Structures are given as structure tokens and as C-alpha cells.
Amino acid sequence: MSRFPFRKIIVYAVYIILVFCIQVSYSSEMTLWGQIPDLMLVFTVLTAYFHGFKDGVVVGLILGLLRDCFCAPCVTGLDGQLVVTGGIGLLVMFVAASIASSFFTGRMKRNVPFSFVTVATVTIIYKMGGYMLSVMWLSMVAHAGSTPDFVDFILRSLLPQTGLNIIATIPLVFLLKFAGPYKRSKAKDRGEDRILTGEGNWVTY
């Protein structure tokens, strides 16, 4: 009979509170061309990548709910007024966890170096998806005369955001990998020794 996972719940709770507080309080001080590191997205991606779909989705949905409640994005409505969106954070975090939990996790054995690639890939998907939706909204629904320039989006939004998220990955990898919710012995008992030994072998056959 397995014990109740007190350690996992407490560690995740502390990390979620920490990530959320830093995101809403201090991330604006780490800007690059108007972009800030998306700590919530990065933490969700890393949790799903290292510890699987279930952990990633639970963490992602909690952070997504906090995101929707406290820092939901606004869009211009049909009447020209700003409208606060709802549920976007939940959707984004669920999709991010789904992608990260299966993004070459078998072949790359969930190693630390490839976690940076995973964060970068999910960030690019997220930013490109947001750009395409904004273009569709402005051109098809709001009937705007102009849409965001793609080159400007790449240089001033996509690249800075990806770079900041990669930098933010460094401390979060340390927290999840070396001070995470699972002890090393417990991870092996769960059949996840690949999480602990993957760094020495990039690809399995």
C-alpha cells in the first residue's frame, strides 16, 4: 500500500506559489524588448517533461487558473472596448503539458539538455499560435486595416520571449531535477530511472 504523497504535494505547492509570486511581482523587472519570462509556462513544461503527463497537467491547470484569475490577457472587442478573456490560461497550460510530456521523452530519456529544447519548442508554438489568432481576429473579426508585422513579431516578440524562457529554465530545472517532488530512490521505484540517468545518453535505440 503506497503512502499518501505528502512530500510531492508540499513541494509542488511551494513551487507553484513561488513561481506565481515571482511572475506577478518581479518578472516585469526582467524585460527584453517588452517581453518578460513566462515562468508559469516554463514550470509547467518542465514538470510535464521530467515527471510525466499527470503531474504536468495538474500543475499546469492550477497555474492556468491563477493566470486566468489574476493576469488574464485582454483583447479588443467588436465595440472597440478591451475585453478580459477567460479560460485561455487553462487551455495554454494543458496543451503545454500535453506536448512536453511526450516531446521526445522516450528517445531523449528526459535528459536535462533536451529540456531546454522542449521549453524553446513549446514557447515557439505558443507564440506562433497567439500571433496567428491575433491576425485572424484583427483581419476577419475586427476588420482592422492592418495586422501585426511578421518580421517585427519574430524580432521583438518571439525571439526575446524564447530567450528569456530558456534563461528561466536554468533555475527551474535545478528545482525540479535536484530538489524536486520525488526522491531519487522513489523515482527509480516508479520505473522512472531514465529521468535520473538520461544525461549520459542522448538517444536510445
Angle, helices 112-136/39-51, rounded to nearest 10 degrees: 130
Asked whether residue 188 carries a pLDDT value surpassing 80, the answer given is no
Largest CA-CA distance found in the chain, in angstroms, rounded: 64
pLDDT tens for each residue of 102-148: 887 766 678 888 999 999 999 999 999 988 888 887 776 655 555 66
pTM for the whole structure: 0.81
30-64, pLDDT tens digit by residue?
777 778 899 999 999 999 999 999 999 999 999 99
The residues near 69 (Cβ < 8 Å, ≥ 6 apart) are none
The predicted structure's pLDDT at residue 32: 75
Q: Where are the chain's structural domains? A: 6-182
Alpha-carbon dihedral angle through residues 60, 150, 160, 63, given to the nearest 10 degrees: -10
The amino acid present at 112, given as its one-letter code, is V
Q: Is residue 96 within 8 Å of 122, Cβ to Cβ?
A: yes
The percentage of the chain sitting over the pLDDT mark of 70, rounded to a whole number, equals 73
Classified by CATH at the fold level, domain 6-182 comes out as Arp2/3 complex 21 kDa subunit ARPC3 (1.10.1760)
- HEC secondary structure over 23-41: HHHCHHHCCECCECCCHHH
Question: CB-based burial of residue 11 (10 Å sphere; 0-12 exposed, 13-18 middle, 19+ buried)?
Answer: middle
**For the residues 21-27, what does the mean pLDDT come to?**
83
| DSSP symbols for 136-187 | HIIIIIS--S----HHHHIIIIIHHHHHHHHHHHHHHHHHHHHSSSS-HHHH
Own/partner long-range contacts of 141-144 (Cβ < 8 Å, ≥24 apart): 141/78, 142/76, 142/78
Q: So what's the pLDDT on residue 162?
A: 95
